[in-house]
Structure 1
């Protein structure tokens, strides 16, 4: 059992303690599709509800069911095993019909929708995720909890990478450092494992820069030399002088302050923003991670520091059970929302 990290808590002290994922049904995630199926083509697009299974396992089961190689199966995003999730998969079936779905379905796995499509489902091809979470054994004053939730709804939350990004016990950062220390030999590991470790290293640096912005209160307002990110995209602009137009766009969640996804090249931020980012990533471990990412060939990019929990609603199921529902864009984590509430133990 692990605790969701409070390192990026932005609104003050914890207002509750609770448990999450005491059962898979208490953590429901539904992918929001980015497109409609074309209705024709050599790929079968399946919307699947799964319980207690991770995405990779289901992809392998689909390959076995269809009699195809695993690379013929596509999915947009990885979903946790300890949850009930609804997500899309594609299976390439050129020139033939799909096997009977009854041979695929079982307890914990069922097909909700099937349709033909022209292309394989690619990573990131989703509009976001909708979450319905139930917190159990909640302790805390109801008024304070609801006040905190109203703050989250009004201001968004720090867009931290979740603990899933860092592997069991956060060990992937240490593994990334070991890979970097090996130099060129680190490239001999499998492509997928190497990509996972590079991602963990980059995410750790981003979270450290974000924590510094939370500490000085600038994570949701920007600062001198800020680089702004357009909501719902990876497009950035700035730095540029502060203006009423920027203030209005920031309040409307049309733009967000951004932080570094480390790589080669110069930071785009300037002035006070750049100085803060460099100071936050100036310890020995951060410098080793920065150097390793640069030598690995990654380029400087940016990620929004703030994310909106869109449509946030809450309901008390009983005196100690609280249900939350909200949507997040791709690449953002429900744990970033939960971290603003307090010490929530993950029973999975």
Structure 2
């Protein structure tokens, strides 16, 4: 599967040029935003960890080995990219134990920056947002066009697609999910099962969002839509009055799309018709997700970009800084600007 099949059309027009992202790990930096006051006491040790070229699960295993605890005693709020420089929280359950020496887990790829005790463990999804600093190198695009596009994105947001990394190389996770769905079976391995269920559900959501980007309705509420605030998981039905809510214009309130699970989508009207049409094209996948015990949930269609700033450290480098809600993908912001190409494959002249 190509990028267009996994995600969908751009909302802002054609790519303005090309660039490289992640020529080195430090070109993609992520800082987890966690709005939880830590008490300084309790049986859980919370760790603020910096990791480079290391995925979250391997970092958890290394911390567990160094602390002498099983990996199930390690918790984290979310998975972070491997090819990146990321800072995120972990917690270790250490009832009746002193703080362990974690130096054996540390090297150039992992450093423990801070540790604080707390009464509770870190829950999945507990972080409120992620802060990003991205450096696009080997940039081949006009600066004026990039600046204008970024001003547009700041005002209107971008489609809240699940990024291509959710789907594995060449969409392999989606292919595997479809194979399991065709047999109405589930992998026994927990991590694989979770990854494939997530990929299948994310793929269906992207199909709904792609259709609404194509018809222009991703930016506006329709009667029968289910609306949600940027930082809330609850949603409510849109009537005619809600479709004129001023909070839609300031990117605080948004229409949502289906994250498939048990039962029919609770949307109505045109939104339900579109979501039902997507489900009708993928009946085995929808049924598989429901049988796996997934609950029907919603995801906002529009992604507001918080605190967006940018500059050009060098003529062929664009540095972006912004904040996104948890669970959203920085790469879908970049996708509205340029096509990403592998390092070493940029031989066209730079245009500034």
State TM-score, norm by structure 2. 0.92
Tell me, in whole angstroms, the C-alpha distance in 2 between the residues paired with 1:217 and 1:142: 27
Q: Are residues 1:317 and 2:318 paired?
A: no
The DSSP-based 3-state class of the residue aligned with 2:219 is: coil
Tell me, in whole angstroms, the C-alpha distance in 2 between the residues paired with 1:64 and 1:243: 52
Deviation at 1:271, TM superposition (A): 1.3
Match of 2:164 in 1: 163
Tell me, in whole angstroms, the C-alpha distance in 2 between the residues paired with 1:201 and 1:6: 13
Q: For structure 2, which runs of at least 5 residues remain unmatched after alignment?
A: 345-352
Deviates more, 1:37-46 or 1:206-215: 37-46
The number of residue pairs the alignment matches comes to 342
Match of 1:259 in 2: 257
Match of 1:145 in 2: 146
Q: 1:189 to 1:212 in 2, by over 3 A?
A: same
Tell me, in whole angstroms, the C-alpha distance in 2 between the residues paired with 1:172 and 1:257: 27
Tell me, in whole angstroms, the C-alpha distance in 2 between the residues paired with 1:31 and 1:107: 20
Match of 1:228 in 2: 227
**Which digits, 9 at most, give the CA deviation of each residue in 1:201-238, with x for residues without a partner?**
11000000000000011111122321101220111001
Match of 2:334 in 1: 338
The DSSP-based 3-state class of the residue aligned with 2:218 is: coil
Tell me if structure 2 keeps the 8 A contact 1:46–1:112: yes
Tell me if structure 2 keeps the 8 A contact 1:19–1:347: yes
Deviation at 1:57, TM superposition (A): 0.8
Deviation at 1:99, TM superposition (A): 2.6
Tell me, in whole angstroms, the C-alpha distance in 1 between the residues paired with 2:249 and 2:331: 23
Q: For structure 1, which runs of at least 5 residues remain unmatched after alignment?
A: none
Tell me, in whole angstroms, the C-alpha distance in 1 between the residues paired with 2:187 and 2:244: 50
Match of 2:348 in 1: none
Q: 1:63 to 1:211 in 2, by over 3 A?
A: same
Tell me if structure 1 keeps the 8 A contact 2:75–2:92: yes
Q: 1:190 to 1:102 in 2, by over 3 A?
A: closer
Q: 1:188 to 1:169 in 2, by over 3 A?
A: closer
Tell me, in whole angstroms, the C-alpha distance in 1 between the residues paired with 2:80 and 2:242: 40
Correspondence list, 1:271-290, <5 A: 271-283=269-281, 286-290=282-286
Q: 1:3 to 1:26 in 2, by over 3 A?
A: farther
Tell me if structure 2 keeps the 8 A contact 1:208–1:281: no
Match of 1:329 in 2: 325
**Which digits, 9 at most, give the CA deviation of each residue in 1:151-189, with x for residues without a partner?**
111011110001221122211111112212333xx2351
Tell me if structure 2 keeps the 8 A contact 1:260–1:302: yes
Tell me if structure 2 keeps the 8 A contact 1:8–1:160: no
Match of 1:97 in 2: 98
Tell me if structure 1 keeps the 8 A contact 2:223–2:243: no
Match of 1:77 in 2: 78
State TM-score, norm by structure 1. 0.93
Correspondence list, 1:88-237, <5 A: 88-183=89-184, 186-187=185-186, 189-237=188-236
The DSSP-based 3-state class of the residue aligned with 2:128 is: strand
Correspondence list, 1:12-51, <5 A: 12-51=13-52
